[in-house]
Amino acid sequence: MNNIKKNRIFDQLFKFWGIACTFLGLVLLIIFIGSIFIDGIQRIDWDFITNLPSRKAERAGIYTALMGSVWILLLTTIIALPIGIAAAIYLEEYAKESKLASLLEVNISNLAGVPSIIYGLLGLEVFVRILQMGASVLAGSFTLALLILPIVIVSTREALKAVPKSIRDASFAMGASKWQTISKQLLPASFGGILTGIILALSRAVGETAPLIVIGALAYVPFAPASPMDEFSVLPIQIFNWISRPQHGFEVNAAAAIIILLLITFIMNSIAVYFRNRWQKRLK
Amino acid sequence: MKEKEIIDKSLKRKHKLESKEVKVFYDDFMAIKGIDMKIRANKITAFIGPSGCGKSTFLRLFNRMNDYVEGFRMEGEILIDGENIYKKKVNVEQLRKQVGMVFQKPNPFPKSIYENVAYGLKIQGIKDKAYLKDKVEDSLKQVGLWNEVKEDINKSALALSGGQQQRLCIARALAVEPSIILMDEPTSALDPISTAKIEELIYELKEKYTIVIVTHNMQQAGRISDYTAFFYMGELIEYDKSKKLFTNPEKQQTENYITGRFG
């Protein structure tokens, strides 16, 4: 058998192997989502979304948990965004080659790998106890903000790095200061990339359960939070709580809540993709 | 009337740019080995020499663009109108408004044509819309781009052809009214027709500006420049009127290079 033939067979083999691997993940996901849909879709109606929690499965709704998730998302964004972007700008544009920068860099990469429950413990000690925020939305948001900061920083840095050096040169050569170059050229040019990273980080935050349980988010909260200092629950905790109940009705509720949660992440990811494409088009 | 005096004085000065005993190091590597040079006002001066001879580094000294290069260190003085631009209190941003630069690859900002040309004025804090519009139109006319783009002034600059982009970059540099324009191989990424247009433009610009151009293209240097400087291994080998340097060079090295025997 000559080499050309052998290469071609290897080519084909690898192609099929690749296809099989791609579909394995996809098929499993479809089976999972399909079974959830079959279980939960009939439970989803307007009442399910607007009802407060209840002991009776058929009357229980996700309103408090959904509102808790929305609060958490908003506050986490407000906290993590400016800090993350500013840190990324510092590391990428100012600190570039210093020893301090490389030390920080290693640590940030390490932080991205720390299990989320550890962040929960940190949040419990620092925000709930020392800063006396209690088991509030605010404490939860700070904790999640810490959790996603490394992701925001890394993705913002990548986006800044992707701006060609020629743009920086051009801006400096026109007499722009460093800050003018950053604010008028680099940030606008990398906005799409930064936004994508942030939305992906947030869609991770919306699914986090462990750190919030640790800081004391409750499975049962009678009312939706009205201020950042209120107690709260979030969708994943609600799901976790319902699944652990013996009655079949709650299982259906859990499936329905999962659909809502998936929908939220799906919408967020779509927005991220939309913005990325729009920005790429604008740059062309 | 003080302003007028200053203008008169600068017009009388024959030499716009001057380097005194300039040495440049990148870490331990000596890229420029002590260059003394005077560049005349309102003339086109071409820097030629093989790759790595230091001509681009030398060019970038005049608007301090080397400051960002890691390990860069400089000795000696660079004077513009008699002022040392490497003195501590020199405002680098201010300097760069006086010394425009055009790069090897066209590098318009990923913004509209208008925003590109207005950028230099806007960062100086000029907000007057009518003034900006006039200035943009003026600058685009100077580079002969206005008629080609006046309908698309708000469209992305990246949609222009390479040659148009490079002319846009020149317009962008002109908009802030510099007195010196540095060009680092401005036509090396362009086709012959665009190159011809840019050369013509450069030739027209010398009435108002002092132009220094780095080029690998010896025909180009011969065509457009009044003076040519030949660099080799970080040294200035020969510097003379272009006509003289290209027809009857003093040094053997220069002759070898311009006749294509090395480099």
ipTM rounded to 2 decimals? 0.89
Give the per-residue pLDDT at B1: 47
Which residue from B235, B191, B231 is spatially nearest to B212, judged by alpha carbons? B231
Selecting from A97, A167, A175 the residue whose C-beta is nearest the C-beta of B109 gives: A167
A282 touches chain B (CB under 8 A): yes
Greatest alpha-carbon span in chain A = 75
What residues of chain B have any CB closer than 8 angstroms to a CB in chain A?
Answer: 63, 65, 68, 70, 93-97, 100-101, 103, 105, 107-111, 119-120, 122-124, 156, 158-159, 169, 172-173, 176
What's the mean pLDDT in B185-204? Answer: 92
Q: CA B76: distance to chain centroid? A: 21
- Compute the 3-state secondary structure of chain B and give helix, strand, coil in percent, each to the nearest 5: 40, 25, 30
Give pLDDT tens digits for A9-21.
Answer: 999 999 999 999 9
Which residues of chain A lie closer than 8 angstroms to B115, CB-CB? none
| Average pLDDT of span B160-173 | 95
What is the mean pLDDT of the segment spanning A81-103? 88
Q: Do A283 and B110 touch (CB under 8 A)?
A: yes
pTM of the model: 0.82
In angstroms, the separation between the Cα of residue A282 and the nearest Cα of chain B is 8
pLDDT in tens, A98-126: 788 888 888 888 888 889 999 999 999 99
Q: Identify the pLDDT of residue A277.
A: 83
Q: Mean pLDDT in chain A?
A: 89
Kindly state the tokens that stand for A37. 């849909």
CA A108/CA A258 separation, integer angstroms:
32
Minimal C-alpha gap between A155 and chain B (Å)? 21
pLDDT in tens, A47-60: 888 888 888 888 88
**Banded model confidence at residue A61, pLDDT cuts 50, 70, 90:** confident
Phi, psi of B231 (to 5 degrees): -105, 145
Instruction: With CB atoms and an 8 Å threshold, state whether A180 touches B96.
Output: no
Chain-chain contact of B103 with A170 (C-beta, under 8 angstroms):
yes
Give the one of B93, B109, B110 whose C-beta lies nearest to A175's C-beta: B93
Lowest mean pLDDT among A265-269, A279-283, B81-85: A279-283
pLDDT tens digits, B78-135: 999 988 999 989 999 999 999 999 999 999 999 999 999 999 999 999 999 999 999 9
